[in-house]
Chain A
Amino acid sequence: MKIRINGEEIEARGQTLAAILEELGYGEAKVATAVNETFVPATARGVTLSPGDRIEIVAPRQGG
Chain B
Amino acid sequence: MEIYGTGIASRLMLGTAQYPSPAVLADAFRRSGAGIATVSVRRESGGERAGTAFWDLVRELGVRVLPNTASCHSVREAVTTAQMARELFDTPWIKLEVIGHADTLQPDPFGLVEAARILVGEGFEVFPYTTEDVVLADRLLEAGCEVLMPWGAPIGTGLGLTNIYGLRTLRAQFPDVPMVVDAGLGLPSQAAMAMEMGFDAVLLNTAVAKAGDPAAMAEGFARAVEAGRLAYEADPMEPRDMAAPSTPVIGRAFLE
Q: Range of interface residues on chain A?
A: 20 to 34
What is A's interface to B at a CB cutoff of 8 Å?
A: 6-7, 21, 24-26, 29-34, 37-39, 41-42, 56-64
A39 to B88, CA, bound (A): 12
State whether B70 touches A29 (Cβ < 8 A): no
Instruction: Indicate which residue in B42, B44, B205 contacts A29 across the interface (CB closer than 8 Å).
Output: B44
Smallest Cβ-Cβ distance to B83: which chain A residue: A39
Chain B residues closer than 8 Å to A41, beta-carbon distance:
87
A60 to B81, CA, bound (A): 11
A49 to B48, CA, bound (A): 23
Nearest Cβ distance between residue A39 and chain B, in whole angstroms?
Answer: 4
Smallest Cβ-Cβ distance to B67: which chain A residue: A63
Nearest Cβ distance between residue B79 and chain A, in whole angstroms?
Answer: 8
What is B's interface to A at a CB cutoff of 8 Å?
A: 15-19, 25, 38-52, 54-55, 58, 67-68, 70, 76-77, 80-81, 83-85, 87-89, 155, 183, 205-206
Chain A residues closer than 8 Å to B44, beta-carbon distance:
6, 26, 29, 31, 57-59
| Given A41-B87, A58-B43, 15 further pairs, Cβ under 8 A | A6-B43, A31-B44, A38-B80, A39-B87, A42-B87, A58-B41, A58-B81, A59-B51, A59-B88, A61-B41, A63-B70, A64-B40, A64-B155, A64-B183, A64-B205
